[in-house]
Amino acid sequence: MTNEKIPYKIYLEEKEIPKQWYNVRADMKNKPAPLLNPGTLKPMTFEELRGVFCDELVRQELNDTDAWIDIPEEIQQFYKMYRPAPLIRAYCLEEKLKTPAKIYYKFEGNNTSGSHKLNSAIAQAYYAKQQGLKGVTTETGAGQWGTALSMACSYFDLDCRVYMVKVSYEQKPFRREVMRTYGAQVTPSPSDTTEVGRKILQEHPGTSGSLGCAISEAVEAATTREGYRYVLGSVLNQVLLHQSVIGLETKAALDKYGVVPDIIIGCAGGGSNLGGLISPFMGEVLRGEKQYRFIAVEPASCPSFTRGKFAYDFCDTGMVCPLAKMYTLGSNFIPSANHAGGLRYHGMSSTLSQLYADGYMEARSVEQTAVFAAAEQFARVEGILPAPESSHAIRVAIDEALKCKETGEEKTIVFGLTGTGYFDMVAYEKFHNGEMNDYIPTDEDLQQGFDRIPQVF
Amino acid sequence: MTNEKIPYKIYLEEKEIPKQWYNVRADMKNKPAPLLNPGTLKPMTFEELRGVFCDELVRQELNDTDAWIDIPEEIQQFYKMYRPAPLIRAYCLEEKLKTPAKIYYKFEGNNTSGSHKLNSAIAQAYYAKQQGLKGVTTETGAGQWGTALSMACSYFDLDCRVYMVKVSYEQKPFRREVMRTYGAQVTPSPSDTTEVGRKILQEHPGTSGSLGCAISEAVEAATTREGYRYVLGSVLNQVLLHQSVIGLETKAALDKYGVVPDIIIGCAGGGSNLGGLISPFMGEVLRGEKQYRFIAVEPASCPSFTRGKFAYDFCDTGMVCPLAKMYTLGSNFIPSANHAGGLRYHGMSSTLSQLYADGYMEARSVEQTAVFAAAEQFARVEGILPAPESSHAIRVAIDEALKCKETGEEKTIVFGLTGTGYFDMVAYEKFHNGEMNDYIPTDEDLQQGFDRIPQVF
């Protein structure tokens, strides 16, 4: 049943945890377009950005030339608490599917935040502490980023204020308590605690919120309070940089056993996991050393890559943030109450957007019930209860493995299992009870969002 | 900050996962007393027990002579999905406490059941499948055992029926959905689906249930249905046998780095985790090779060891099960709605009871708010959100480490971190809101339970 040479779980040794992050932008010929000041339409400068983000994080955000950035010792220490994360050979899933494909997944759920988000949270909290700040503000969708940031802030004794997308706040009542356990203050968004929140509530009473709204509130809360900065769990270049530990460990584990992947799959909301997972492999492709297929998987209800426009747009609904060039559905796009809260973002990482535009990546959108069917199938054979977000990648990994079954090809498939679904049981319950719908926006729905994209080139 | 030689997490290699379970009874001079037939008061025979349990499990239950039992290949394969479990050096907790003590914990929460329970669930499901049964019935308190059994049954395609203690069913609504994800049927207990359940409901309307009630219902459901057997997640000798993988891995990991523990601490409900954790160490003590201090930690609200009687008693409230000699609070003892659902059992493993009676172990009872304070302190520095059950062990580990701080002793403390608290956020919320009480039964409360203990010697 098993190949004796490759264990079920490949654990690197502690000393093999990366000591540097890899910055894929350094190897890109077409760099991701810079953030623009919405007033002047000129690239945001260090001075402009430092009012919102910590200084060192701004430097990382703007750095598209250094391929390797040292990971500070304190962050390395923290990584040792929950890393290296295992790369797991899905022997049981392969057997169940009767596929000749070899399936591996990088499991990032073995920490209390339940996801990969902790990799960047601890970095951002560290730099905030280094700068002598009192605290940070942020938004959270599924609650994984908020939990991760709470843990990181608790470790460095920083104040942490989280704006949580209202639909997730309501669907995941216990997420709030986890964040409180780590000392964070959690507010459902949109809220009446910020000017932008009050405005959104007035325009869209009864809205279930979106990441775009929550970002606006968190930015306002940071910039109107002394000693605070805003931090973000995805989309930004700095986040993809920190998340490169996922890909670096994955590559090191595969290299150890001489395994070369054919297809690398990740779910994509803002791009933090996908970008982190693929970055060292993408680097090889960009340098002309190797060839891989990369597949980004997004919900059909929020299809930024597959149906969005590649254009400069606001990162937030309130239009208080800079403009980023990305695949976008428009900053006022509020997706249906899709359960994968972490994938409900209207935009996409600029870095991944550029790579997609340049033909280095594929993208696929999948429907919710098919995602939960894959999640349940996976849970029953592999034991791990996956997060809905992660299950988007599982869906496509299974689909690709089934194609191999038809063709007889022994492809090697690697996907990112970003986290666990312990706080997503309301969604699983709906799935079990046949109450889950597969809402897909119409072209008219999308046009409303596109109409709001500013005309910038 | 860290000792270079010992990593944060000690992972054994896959090939180092135990291939045999260790049966501590083989090394005990005073064997645990046999189960008695409540009618004849004679030891239960293989023939009598096989109506309730699978044949092979009955053999294991009665075997107090073989020190080592081979782990079947199929179970070893399953263990590879989530084992070896890490032994973690609590560097961050040590630093926070400023203690010279060295603290290690064996973390069994890195699987979807959220606890060590899976170690025995997969063994019991395997033997049921081998015997050609259709399914199994069981009870669950906190829901961890029920989840573990659901996972194991799903893996071997067995029907799984779970009676869940009503207080946990209500406090942990999402546990039910996890079990359903793995295909189990879950009923809150006491229920009107069994004769014994209806009787208990009539006598105690509005009862929040107990493990003792749920056991009665599950046994009835198994013995009145063809092709079914009853399985149990704790208390029994067979369960302690399977759980010896915890202790064996712990010992192998410590041996690898030449670490010798002074104190070994585990929470104790029915004894499955504590028994499994300490067994190989206890074996050394019983054979006169080593000396260790063992501490069992139980809730002050359900103090079997510290305030119970060592006597033959029924294992269940409905008095349908055999009699076991154990520390007991009486089979009608229904603890207050303590949140550590997994520790709400009136009795205790016969094996551990005998060892405690013979002076090989200490026991300590701790109050609920002190337990949650320890849990939160631990979560904030070690990152892992612990289950309330496990947090009983954390409380005493911290207490012992603080004693070392006073005396300056560099003791090595090992404790079992049995699982995670993701489904216990109602309890954490009560703790955060200051609504948690520290109910301790009075002597009169306990006397009611003692009055029901049958007069058997």
Q: Which amino acid, B127?
A: Y
Residues 6+ apart with CB under 8 A from B322: B35, B36, B37, B38, B44, B49, B315
Mean pLDDT of each 10-residue bin along chain A, 457 residues long: 72 95 98 94 96 96 98 96 95 96 96 94 98 97 92 96 90 87 95 94 89 90 96 95 98 97 96 97 98 97 96 88 94 76 86 98 97 96 94 98 98 97 90 90 94 86
Rounded to the nearest angstrom, the gap between the alpha carbon of residue A164 and the centroid of all alpha carbons in its chain is 16
Give me the total of CB pairs closer than 8 Å, taking one residue from chain A and one from chain B.
Answer: 115
Asked if the model's pLDDT at residue B1 lies above 60, the reply is: no
| Low-confidence winner among A293-297, B171-175, B336-340 (lowest mean pLDDT) | B336-340
Closest C-alpha among B131, B415, B68 to residue B273:
B415
Who among B92, B177, B385 is closest to A428 (CB)? B177
pLDDT of residue A341: 66
Which chain B residues are Cβ-neighbours of A183 within 8 angstroms? 380
Give the Å distances, CA to CA, from A290 to A20, A283, A286, A293, B173.
Answer: 22, 9, 8, 10, 49
pLDDT of residue B338: 65
Subunit contact B155:A180, Cβ cutoff 8 A: no
The answer to whether B429 and B172 have CB atoms below 8 angstroms apart is no
pLDDT of residue A208: 85
Q: How far is B78 from chain A (nearest CA, A)?
A: 9
Who among A376, A384, A426 is closest to B112 (CB)? A384
- Which residue blocks in B136-261 are alpha helix, DSSP H? 144-156, 166-171, 173-181, 195-203, 211-223, 237-256
Asked if the model's pLDDT at residue B2 lies above 70, the reply is: no
Q: What integer is the mean pLDDT of B16-22?
A: 97
Asked if the model's pLDDT at residue B296 lies above 90, the reply is: yes
Candidates A81, A92, A378, A436: best to mutate against B (most CBs of B within 10 A) is A81
Asked if the model's pLDDT at residue B4 lies above 60, the reply is: no
pLDDT digits (tens, 9 = 90+) for B80-129: 999 999 999 999 999 999 999 999 999 999 898 899 999 999 999 999 99
Q: Which amino acid, A280?
A: P
In whole angstroms, what is the distance from residue B21 CA to residue B119 CA?
Answer: 11
What is residue B70's three-state secondary structure?
strand
DSSP bridge pairs for A263: A293, A413
Q: A247-284 as b/e, with b when 16 or more CB fall inside 10 Å? A: bbbbbbbbeeeebebbbbbbbbbbbbbbbbbbbbbbbe
Closest C-alpha among B450, B456, B221, B228 to residue B322:
B456
Residues 6+ apart with CB under 8 A from A354: A28, A30, A31, A32, A33, A325
B177: contact with A, CB 8 A cutoff? yes
Closest residue, chain B, to A83 (C-alpha): B9
CA angle A44, A356, A363 (to 5 degrees): 130
Q: Find out whether the peptide bond into A84 is cis, omega within 30 degrees of 0.
A: yes
Residues 6+ apart with CB under 8 A from B69: B20, B21, B23, B60, B63, B241
Subunit contact B384:A180, Cβ cutoff 8 A: no
Q: What integer is the mean pLDDT of B375-401?
A: 96
The answer to whether A316 and A331 have CB atoms below 8 angstroms apart is yes
Subunit contact A380:B112, Cβ cutoff 8 A: no
Phi, psi for A11 (deg, rounded to 5): -105, 125
Measured over the CA atoms of residue B264, residue B266, residue B268 and residue B273, the dihedral's sign is: negative
pLDDT of residue A4: 54
pLDDT digits (tens, 9 = 90+) for B439-453: 899 999 999 999 999
pLDDT of residue A1: 40
* Residue B457 confidence class, pLDDT cut points 50, 70, 90: low
Strands A68-70 and A20-22: antiparallel
Residues 6+ apart with CB under 8 A from A430: A339, A436
What is residue B43's three-state secondary structure?
strand
pLDDT of residue B341: 66
Q: How far is B430 from chain A (nearest CA, A)?
A: 10
- Which residue blocks in B28-172 are alpha helix, DSSP H? 46-49, 55-62, 73-82, 91-97, 118-130, 144-156, 166-171
